[in-house]
C-alpha cells in the first residue's frame, strides 16, 4: 500500500528509491511479528540502538531467551554485516542472531542464521524456545 501511495509502479522504480531499505525492513518486521502472533508465541519486541550507532532492527525477548534480528535488502550480505550483528547482539546477550536478507539459501552456524524471509517464516516454529509458546489451560 505504501508503494502504491507513493506512486511506485514497478520493481525497478522501487529499488531506485532512497527509502526502499527502510520499507523492506518494516515489511520483514511486520511479517515476523505476525508469524509469532499466529503461533501464540509470547515475546516482547523492541528496537535497540546505542549512542555509537550500533543497532538491532528487531530484538525478541522470550523471557529466558533473547534473539537479535537484522534486516538487509541485499541478496549478498557481507561477513561485515554478520560481525556488526554479533557485536550488537553481544551487548544484549542475544542467544540467537538472525540476518534476514534476500539470500536464496540459508547459512546456519549456531547461534547465527543468515536466511531469506520466507525460509525464516517457514522454520520459525521449529526455532522457537519451548517456553515461548502459550499453552491453554
Instruction: Judge whether 136 lies within some domain.
Output: no
Instruction: Judge whether 101 lies within some domain.
Output: yes
Distance of CA 28 to the CA centre of its chain: 6
- CA dist 5 and 50 (Å) reads 33
pLDDT score for 18: 60
Instruction: Judge whether 25 lies within some domain.
Output: yes
Helix pair 117-127, 20-38: axis angle to 10 deg: 30
- CA dist 80 and 130 (Å) reads 31
Strand 112-116, strand 96-101: pairing? parallel
- CA dist 100 and 126 (Å) reads 17
Residue-wise pLDDT for 83-112, tens only, equals 999 999 999 999 999 999 999 999 988 889
Count of domains forming the chain = 1
Instruction: Judge whether 26 lies within some domain.
Output: yes
Model confidence at 137: pLDDT above 80: no
Instruction: Judge whether 111 lies within some domain.
Output: yes
Residue in the structure block whose three cell numbers are 491453554: 136
Retrieve residue 80's grid coordinates. 561485515
Model confidence at 2: pLDDT above 80: no
Helix (H, G, I), strand (E, B) or coil at 71: strand
Instruction: Judge whether 13 lies within some domain.
Output: yes
Instruction: Judge whether 135 lies within some domain.
Output: no
- What is the domain-level CATH number for residue 97? 3.40.1350
pLDDT score for 74: 85
Instruction: Judge whether 38 lies within some domain.
Output: yes
Does residue 14 contact residue 8 with C-beta atoms inside 8 Å? yes
**pTM to 2 decimal places:** 0.83
Residue-wise pLDDT for 30-80, tens only, equals 999 999 999 888 899 999 999 999 999 999 999 999 999 999 988 899 999
- CA dist 63 and 37 (Å) reads 16
Containing structural domain, residue 64: 2-129
Amino acid at each position: 500500500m505504501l508503494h502504491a501511495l507513493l506512486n511506485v509502479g514497478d520493481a525497478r522504480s522501487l529499488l531506485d528509491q532512497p527509502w526502499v531499505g527502510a520499507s523492506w525492513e518494516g515489511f520483514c518486521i511486520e511479517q515476523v511479528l505476525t508469524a509469532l502472533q499466529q503461533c501464540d508465541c509470547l515475546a516482547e519486541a523492541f528496537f535497540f540502538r546505542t549512542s555509537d550507532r550500533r543497532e538491532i532492527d528487531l530484538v525478541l525477548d522470550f523471557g529466558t531467551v533473547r534473539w537479535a534480528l537484522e534486516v538487509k535488502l541485499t541478496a549478498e550480505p557481507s561477513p561485515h554485516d554478520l560481525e556488526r550483528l554479533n557485536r550488537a547482539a553481544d551487548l544484549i546477550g542475544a542467544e540467537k542472531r538472525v540476518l534476514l536478507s534476500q539470500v536464496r539459501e540459508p547459512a546456519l552456524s549456531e547461534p547465527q542464521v543468515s536466511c531469506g524471509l520466507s525460509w525464516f517464516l517457514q522454520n520459525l516454529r521449529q526455532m522457537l524456545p519451548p517456553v515461548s509458546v502459550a499453552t491453554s489451560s
